[in-house]
A and B are shown apart, each in its own frame.
Chain A
Amino acid sequence: MTDMDQPSTPGADLPDHPDFLWRNPDPKPSYDVIIVGGGGHGLATAYYLAKNHGITNVAVLEKGWLAGGNMARNTTIIRSNYLWDESSGIYEHSLKLWEGLAEDLDYPILFSQRGVLNLAHTLQDVRDSVRRVNANNLNGIDAEWIDAQGVKELCPIVNISPDVRYPVLGATYQPRAGIAKHDYVAWGYARRASDMGVDLIQDCEVQGIDIVNGRVVGVQTSRGPIRAGKVALCGAGHSSVLADMAGIRVPLQSHPLQALVSEILQPVHPTVVMSNAVHVYVSQAHKGELVMGAGIDSYNGYGQRGSFHIIEDQMSAAVELFPIFARAHVLRTWAGIVDVTPDASPIVGLTEVEDLYLNCGWGTGGFKATPGVGSCFAHTVAHGRPHPYNEPFTLDRFTTGALVDEHGAAAVAH
């Protein structure tokens, strides 16, 4: 990867994209596998189906433009320091894939392992943080607890004064965590998938799922019916809408999640900082712009726009934690739609309909999981049974009570 080495600190410009990305085929009448949703997860699933399982008679159907949903709208934070074994399993699997992904895809995805700090602002934050660090270490995940001074050393612009409203008491630190460039990731998957024979079909909205005798046989689309041996749903925020077409009830609620970006600035922020207590997470992207996200809007919504007071709260938190950000400017705000489950963990696996597979509920964690879930979901679809990493994430857990309760248990939501 010598020619694709990425800047570890922000620079004004990015590597060029390749001269050719993907074909724009018309849909064939029939495919072995149809993946509904051409976002990061759909594209990654297609790629791993082709690469790991030799299944290439595959179509990815996207109602808009490829990777134009949450993939284009997220804040690109990648980490695996989750509390529960089930979560850390799949996210660490994902992180390991991230570490070789530029080479695997032969695409400069700009994965920058600059470390992620999750700040603690209260004594209970500290307990929860230490708990998570200890669990991470025993699960083989790099993580450490560092005090406020340590935070300052890693990220000198953080205000660790004890005089602020919610002083920084310390942080968990995952050195291998970081950020990547989302379009580059999605296009890297798309290019390789297309190259291996996968048909990427845009402006093709799935309007119905054909089921005969409890078995899926195809889909109805805005570009006509298409038959399929298997159908894999990767609809992210629209997963409920898709599942409804198949008569499957999923415990999802779709919410707007907003983010924003500043102008391009000289490097000031060497790492990624997340704070749940004051509701902000921020990194400085490769070109130098500050990229930030906030809490989700409380109401259900598919509108890809949120309420402005959320942005204002986020700015208060940002300037509080990073006083030098005061005169940075908001250039652009936007929103994605996140599908959230009751336990803030995903649902990945088989459904009550034969040959219909479901991947949803990633909430705010979808981007970082892209390689991990792509490979596991491809395995699930190829073999008709879950991969060990996604086995815990069944729909059934809401009946048995075997939840993987990340938001109830951990100090970190994103």
Chain B
Amino acid sequence: MTNSFRTSTGGRVNRELPLSFQFDGTPYSGYAGDTLASALLANGKHDIASSIKFGRPRGVFAAGPEDPSGVIQIEEPFPEPMLMASTVELYDGLVASGLPGQGWLADRPDPARYDAVHHHCDLLVVGAGPAGLSAALTGARAGARVVLVDSLSEAGGSLLGSTEVIDGRPALEWVESVTAELDEHPDVLHLQRATAFGCYDDGFALALENRTDHLGGAADPDDTRQRVWRIRAQYLVIATGAHERPVVFNDNDRPGIMLAASARTFLHRFGVLAGGRAVLFTTNDSAYAAAFDLSDAGVTIVAVADSRAQVSERLQDGCVRRGIALHTGHVVSGTDGDRRVESVDIAALTGDNEVGQAERVAADLLLVSGGWNPAVHLFSQARGRLRYDDGIGAFVPAEDLEQGRAVGAAAGHFGLADALRDGASAAAAALGPTATAAVTEHQVDDLVEAPSAVLWSVPGSGETGMAFVDLQRDATTQDVLRAVGAGLRSVEHVKRYTTIGTGLDQGKTSGVVTSGIIADALGVGVAELGVTTYRPPYTPVAFAALAGRNRGQLLDPVRLTPTHVWALTRGAEFENVGQWKRAWYFPREGESMDGAVARECRAAREGVAFMDGSTLGKIDVQGPGAGELLDRIYTNMMSTLKVGRARYGVMCGADGMVVDDGTVIRLADEHFLLTTTTGNAASVLETMEEWLQTEWPELRVHLTSVTEHWATFPVVGPKSREVIAALVPDLDVSNDAFGFMTWRDAEIAGVPVRIVRISFSGELAYEVNVSAWHAMAVWRAIAEAGRPHGITPYGTETMHVLRAEKGFPIIGQDTDATMTPQDLGMSWVVSKKKEDFVGKRSFTRLENQREDRKQLVGLLPQDPSVLLPEGGQVIETADLPEAPVRMLGHVTSSYHSATSGCTFALAVVRGGRDRLGETLYVPMNGTPVPVTVSDTVLYDKEGARRDG
């Protein structure tokens, strides 16, 4: 296909660089610098999509992101749904198709990379049109740190689509000189293809930069496709321009109907004629430039219909000079055509706000302009207040932001001189005297414009045909009137009733028009009716762009213990515990999980086994108030702990529910080290800090997280004493010399270690603590010393079985946030002596006194081969009654005990401790399985094994 609607010269496209692409299966060509929309129009392709509800043909309605109509799907190189053809920069090999309002996703993962960059600046300027460039330059000259972002492929904004003159030269020469000067300022970051899509508090703005798509096959696949710029600015200059507003009339949706300035943009920026024979329908002066420029470029302008009764002599002369028939007091009342507009009905507005008999003229292009809406989206997101301006029929900024300002057309100042002045003065306002001195005055011939008419909808629209308010949603004036007739009075309700403004364009061209039509129907002012809320993002942003690098293994940091690689090489399976990877079990070749766990358990019970318990949270507590702090935090007494000894402790919340447990060892008079469960390490520290800093600042204590500093290796089993003795020959490891719940400093493999006699398995056990830097040396030494005894590494599953056999609960597994220490059978850990501690008062509440609270007990399946499901519910009856069934509690832990040769479980059961010996039932697959309630300790009830 040839570019038959391409002008012979002009435009910003690179005619030396032709690009091939496909649309709806047909090959086309365009030029570097084209958008998909301009390239299609250059090929005379107007009918590019079909509408969502009625399947009507739709074309390109605007040259920018406000286009409600030209919605396409990218198919190759990688599928991307629902983009506006006007915002897709053309590249070689692009394959796209028109959409019926519904896109489709790839069926495979996106290979592209995305990332984000933080940036801080004095001045963030959004938009590189005349106002934005003027602001950025003023800021740069004042030495400020400036960021200038703009969504197009090059700077210039509206100047790219016009023939303006600045200081006697074509405006684009001025643009070039400004960008060249900005380039020389080291503190200026100038990003094109970067759309600011969100404004938040305190000068925080987000911009999405397209980095590689436009390069097509030449893009480096390792480069990030899109980048989110997270910009924190001292001052925000919103120079986002304005969107031209359509007027609604019958059959206003045909391909070939286009906003006037967009057609002018296609001409000047892309060298594309949007048609051969055009009509202009306008309510204002600005659109004449489009008609005149297109006429001068060879398009026949059949007629101009201006809804105003009078237009200026200048415009009349312009029409006369070009042989354009000017119909003042006229409107377009309808169109006709098959896949594209073929004729336009022009009719007079009569005095009683009706339209007269229409005259039909042949045309393949209809330019429409109902005035301009300042692009106040970002301003509004930044919580700027808007006011309705009756004169232009649009909402404009009513004030400056605390840290920013809208300028130029975004502020409703549509002249070029205004834009240049606005931009500079905003920078000056932000930056002070140095910037004020840098303000340059420019010579610009702004034409004096006559007042615009405000016309939302041509009278009678929709009464006989379809007059679309929102082209993408196929919503018409009749839909709006029907909504009002249904009793709706709020624009938000009408939006929901009609779905206007919910499409890809989010109502950029339909929003204010809708308000206008409703206001007319209700006989109220647009000002009091308002407009629907502007919400981020300004233009659609891909999920993956926002996800950035935080995907896959980077979704959340991975924390590894010192022995991770060792475990990995031993074939360990791992489980996620919080952010940690913990060795779960160590299967041997061909061994099942059950087999591995049984073997590991036997080793711990009969010989010796060791594990990496380094993930335990560890908090170092130092200072004269340390003992007092721990007394207030733990339910039991810690200040009486002697140096050299260890004590188990439980923490509750103020509500009296158990939140964590662990051990406390006293290293010196004013120095304790406590452990927390793996998952609660951070929250326990934060809670302790909270109490300390906000409630008890009089206590002189320092809390330090030392979780990563200490590796922790329990060495467990009847042979553990021999292993430790071999490792530390000069330490008296006898029970008398090194008793349970005491600790000793020692040295293993030349490394200082602290060994604590604590046991989470009930067996004789030694917990070796060592600086994480030297942990592997010590781990290997333990493995070596244990070799004669067949020392066996074990994982978290075996740890769980061993502790469950002893009835030791795991906080978070055997408890939820509704269990007290008493419920756990741990009244012994609740001090009677202390006047108070966190949670104590809650123990005397009514609910805590109930006899039937859920209590931790053991459950023994009466068939010892049945393994109860963790999470199984406990009921009273052997038959399953009709729902709802009364539930007594649930199974919290359930295992095979290799040692005892049976299955067993821990459970919380209503009044459980009074039910010992009772038969209860746990439904499994709908069948209640009988269990006997037992105490929590299955193994070594008398505790004989603890001391070896």
Are A and B in direct contact (Cβ within 8 Å)? yes
Query: When chains A and B are docked, how far (Å) is the Cα of A127 from the Cα of B200?
Result: 40
Contact partner, B556, options A132, A166, A288, A409, Cβ 8 Å: A166
List residues 327-359 of chain A with CB under 8 A from any CB of chain B. Answer: 327-334, 342
Interchain CB contact under 8 A, B537 and A165: no
A266 touches B (CB below 8 Å): yes
Q: With A317-B555, A329-B81, A409-B816 given, is the CB distance from A131 to B890 under 8 Å?
A: yes
A315 sits at the interface (CB 8 A)? yes
Contact with A along B862-885 (1 / 0, CB 8 A): 000000011111010000001111
A310 and B842 alpha carbons, distance in the complex (Å): 35
How far apart are the CA atoms of A362 and B438 in the complex, in Å? 57
Scan residues 311-331 of chain A and give those whose CB is less than 8 A from a CB of chain B: 311-313, 315-320, 323-331
A361 to B11, CA, bound (A): 61
Say yes or no: is A1 at the interface (Cβ < 8 Å to chain B). Answer: no
A317 to chain B minimum Cβ distance, whole angstroms, is 7
A248 close to chain B: CB less than 8 A? no
Contact A19 B482 (CB under 8 A): yes
Partner of B506 from A13, A194, A331 at Cβ < 8 Å: A331
**Chain A neighbourhood of B506, CB < 8 A:** 331-332
A-chain residues with CB within 8 Å of residue B656 when the two chains form the complex: 401
Within 790-846 of B, Cβ neighbours of A (below 8 Å) are at 812-813, 816-818, 842, 845-846
Q: Are A131 and B485 in contact (CB under 8 A)?
A: no
- Known contacts A17-B497, A325-B543; A166 and B487 CB within 8 A of each other: no
**Is A265 part of the contact surface with B, judged by Cβ < 8 Å?**
yes
**Stretch touching chain B among A116-124, A227-235, A369-377, A379-387:** A116-124
- Which residues of chain A come closer than 8 Å to B543, judged between CB atoms? 262, 315, 318-319, 325-330
CA distance A183 to B872 in the complex (A): 39
Contacts of A194 in B (CB 8 A): 487
B655: chain A residues within 8 A (beta carbon): 342, 401
Chain B residues within an 8 Å CB radius of A164? 552, 555
Q: Would A316 and B547 count as touching, CB distance under 8 A?
A: yes
Q: Which of A139, A308, A407 has the most chain B CB atoms closer than 10 A to its own CB? A: A308
Contact with A along B525-561 (1 / 0, CB 8 A): 0000000000111001111101110111111101000
Give the shortest distance, in Å, between B681 (CB) and chain A (any CB).
16
* Beta-carbon contact of B499 and A14 below 8 Å: yes
A24 in contact (CB, < 8 A):
yes
A388 at the interface (CB under 8 A from B): no
Q: Contacts A122-B577, A330-B541, A331-B540 hold; do A265 and B486 have CB atoms under 8 A apart? A: no
CA distance A24 to B488 in the complex (A): 9
B923 interface contact, C-beta 8 A? yes
Q: Are B106 and A12 in contact, with the CB atoms below 8 A?
A: no
> Which of the segments A52-60, A64-72, A104-112, A210-218 contacts the partner chain?
A64-72
Q: Is the CB of B890 within 8 A of A134?
A: yes
Docked complex Cα distance between A328 and B564 (Å): 38
Do most interface residues of chain A lie in helix, strand or loop, or is the interface mixed? mixed
Is the beta-carbon distance between B53 and A12 smaller than 8 angstroms? Answer: yes
Which residues of A in the span 1-56 have a Cβ within 8 Å of any Cβ on B? 12-14, 17-24
**What is the minimal beta-carbon distance from B629 to any residue of chain A, in angstroms?**
25
Interface: A140 (CB within 8 A): yes
Complex contact A327–B102 (CB within 8 A) = no
CA distance A183 to B497 in the complex (A): 8
Which of A21, A164, A194 is packed against the most chain B CB atoms within 10 Å? Answer: A21
Most chain A CB atoms below 10 A, which of B105, B554, B555, B656: B105
- B contact residues around A264 at 8 Å (CB): 52, 82, 101-103
- Interface window among B107-115, B312-320, B938-946: B107-115
- Let me know if A268 and B105 touch, CB within 8 A: yes
A308 to B104, CA, bound (A): 26
- Of listed A21, A122, A264, residue having the most chain B CB within 10 A: A264
Is there contact, CB below 8 Å, between A265 and B103? yes
Q: How far is the CA of A247 from the CA of B864 in the complex (A)?
A: 59
A13-B52, A85-B887, A328-B81 known; A266-B102 Cβ under 8 A: yes
Residue-wise, chain B 78-93 has the 8 Å CB interface mask toward A (1 for contact) of 1111100000000000
Contact B110 A130 (CB under 8 A): no
Which residues from B are CB-within-8-Å of A318?
Answer: 543, 547
Looking at A68, A135, A268, the one whose CB has the most chain B CB atoms below 10 A away is A135
CA of A23 to CA of B214, assembled, Å:
54
Min Cβ gap A89→B in Å is: 8
Once the chains bind, are A401 and B544 in contact (CB under 8 Å)? Answer: no
How far apart are the CA atoms of A129 and B540 in the complex, in Å? 36
A137 CB, min distance to chain B CBs, angstroms: 8
Establish whether residues A408 and B816, one from each chain, have CB atoms under 8 Å apart when the complex forms.
yes
- Given the interface pairs A327-B79, A332-B506, the reply to whether A124 lies near B106 with Cβ below 8 Å is no
Of A121, A262, A403, chain B has the most CB atoms within 10 Å of the CB of: A262
Query: Do residues B488 and A329 form an inter-chain contact, with CB atoms below 8 A?
Result: no
Interface string of A155-180 (1 = CB under 8 A from B): 00000000011100000000000000
Contact B492 A12 (CB under 8 A): no
Query: Bound state CA distance, A264 and B576, in angstroms?
Result: 36
**Chain A residue nearest in CB terms to B557:** A165
Residues A334 and B535 in contact in the complex (CB < 8 Å), given A121-B576, A408-B816: yes
Q: Closest Cβ of chain A: how far from B518's Cβ, in Å? A: 13
B588: interface (CB < 8 Å): no
A327 touches B887 (CB 8 A): no
Tell me if B128 counts as interface (CB < 8 A to partner A): no
- The verdict on A263 contacting B103 (CB below 8 Å), with A21-B488, A401-B846 known, is yes
The distance in angstroms between the C-alpha atoms of A330 and B543, with both chains bound, is 6
CB distance from A73 to the nearest CB of B (A): 11
Q: Are B487 and A23 in contact (CB under 8 A)?
A: yes
CB contacts (< 8 Å) of B780 on chain A: these are none
Picked from A65, A183, A265, A316, the residue with its CB within 8 Å of the CB of B551 is A316
Contact of B540 among A20, A123, A329 (CB under 8 A): A329
Question: Interface residues, chain B, CB within 8 Å of chain A?
Answer: 52-53, 78-82, 100-110, 112, 116, 198, 200, 204, 206, 228, 482-483, 485-490, 492-493, 496-497, 499, 502, 504, 506, 535-537, 540-544, 546-548, 550-556, 558, 575-577, 655-657, 812-813, 816-818, 842, 845-848, 869-873, 875, 882-885, 887, 890, 892, 923
- Nearest 7 Cβ contacts at the A-B interface: A408-B817, A140-B883, A130-B871, A401-B847, A131-B871, A329-B540, A326-B110
Instruction: List 17 other contacts, CB 8 Å, given A278-B555, A332-B536, A408-B818.
Output: A17-B497, A133-B871, A135-B873, A138-B885, A139-B883, A141-B883, A202-B489, A262-B543, A264-B103, A265-B82, A266-B102, A268-B105, A326-B543, A326-B544, A327-B544, A402-B846, A405-B818
Binding site for B on A (CB under 8 A): 12-14, 17-24, 64-66, 68, 72, 85, 89, 121-124, 126-135, 137-141, 164-166, 183, 194, 202, 262-266, 268, 278, 288, 307-308, 311-313, 315-320, 323-334, 342, 399-403, 405, 407-409
A sample of 17 cross-chain residue pairs with beta-carbon separation below 8 angstroms, ordered by A number, consists of A12-B52, A19-B485, A21-B486, A121-B576, A129-B871, A137-B923, A165-B553, A278-B555, A312-B116, A312-B228, A324-B105, A329-B81, A330-B540, A332-B506, A332-B536, A401-B842, A403-B818
